[in-house]
């Protein structure tokens, strides 16, 4: 697969395949890696379609036995088979077109209606709040913030640590005493560059309260982070 912007792809003539050793590898408009489907324009549209298909299947499956389940049992099944799919590698969805995120939010809304037996005519936000579920965009920021914490404390993958850099001001000022701010690199392409971890991590991390960025442990950080994002989402 060759990745490019839609405009650029029209000006590039690609061969039908390439030869690597004795193997002929055909070009494809999408490829799957570690369960994530990437399309040639990196819109994540194919990935969202796959998530939608899988989640709707699970919604129908759980829905067919919902009347036999307690609310607690239904919540357990939804968490295991639906929320886990919505959260899997969701940091890759940062900066995606809003219509794709809206599709995923609709899936989460339907999952909440299934657990709590809420009619479609009822407003869903109070029920998401009652379940203590962060909405889709907040869940994406939560994942990026947790990965950023691991990178800064060197408790996560080393390659993520290599992609982040603490901001160092040109001259020392009182206002620059906070050493937990990440440096945001400049990017040439807004569509792709701002979605990379080296850019999304500083944007999400630097927006967090100072006290949260200085959390003493991963557990306290995650607890405080969810409280912070929950407050922003539902107030």
pLDDT at position 172 is: 58
> How far, in Å, CA of 35 to CA of 33, rounded?
5
**Whole-number pLDDT of residue 135:** 98
Average pLDDT over residues 139-160: 95
Q: What residues contact residue 178 under an 8 Å CB cut-off, 6+ apart?
A: 210, 213
Is the pLDDT reported for residue 9 higher than 70? no
Checking if the pLDDT of 173 tops 60, the result is no
Rounded Cα–Cα distance for residues 75 and 4 (Å): 41
Residue percentage of the chain with pLDDT more than 90: 69
Counting DSSP H helices and E strands in the chain, the numbers are: 12, 4
What pLDDT, on a 0 to 100 scale, did the predictor assign at position 125?
96
Q: Label residue 234 by pLDDT band (50, 70, 90).
A: very high
Please report which helix (H) or strand (E) contains residue 101, including its range. helix 98-116
Whether the pLDDT of residue 175 is over 60: the answer is no
The predicted-structure confidence for 18-54, as pLDDT tens digits, reads as follows: 888 888 888 777 888 899 998 877 889 999 999 999 9
Place of tokens 């479609």: 120
Report the predicted TM-score, pTM, of the whole model to 2 decimal places.
Answer: 0.87
Burial class, 108, CB count within 10 angstroms (exposed 0-12 / middle 13-18 / buried 19+)? buried
Cα 144 from Cα 115, distance rounded (Å): 27
């Amino acid at each position: 697969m060759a990745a490019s912007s839609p405009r650029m792809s029209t000006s590039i003539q690609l061969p039908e395949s390439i030869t690597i050793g004795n193997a002929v590898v055909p070009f494809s408009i999408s490829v799957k890696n570690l369960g994530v489907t990437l399309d040639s324009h990196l819109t994540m549209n194919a990935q969202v379609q796959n998530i939608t298909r899988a989640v709707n299947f699970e919604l129908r499956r759980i829905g067919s036995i919902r009347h036999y389940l307690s609310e607690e049992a239904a919540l357990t099944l939804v968490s295991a088979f639906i929320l886990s799919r919505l959260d899997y590698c969701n940091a890759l969805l940062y900066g995606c077109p809003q219509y794709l995120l809206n599709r995923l939010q609709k899936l989460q809304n339907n999952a909440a209606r299934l657990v709590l037996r809420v009619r479609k005519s009822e407003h869903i936000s109070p029920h998401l709040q009652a379940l203590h579920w962060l909405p889709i965009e907040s869940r994406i920021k939560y994942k990026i913030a947790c990965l950023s914490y691991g990178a800064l404390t060197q408790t996560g993958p080393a390659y993520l640590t290599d992609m982040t850099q603490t901001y160092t001001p040109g001259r020392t000022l009182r206002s620059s005493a906070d050493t937990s701010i990440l440096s945001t690199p400049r990017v040439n392409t807004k569509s792709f560059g701002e979605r990379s971890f080296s850019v999304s991590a500083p944007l999400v991390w630097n927006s967090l309260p100072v006290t949260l960025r200085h959390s003493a442990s991963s557990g306290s950080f995650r607890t405080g982070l969810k409280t912070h994002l929950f407050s922003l989402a539902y107030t």
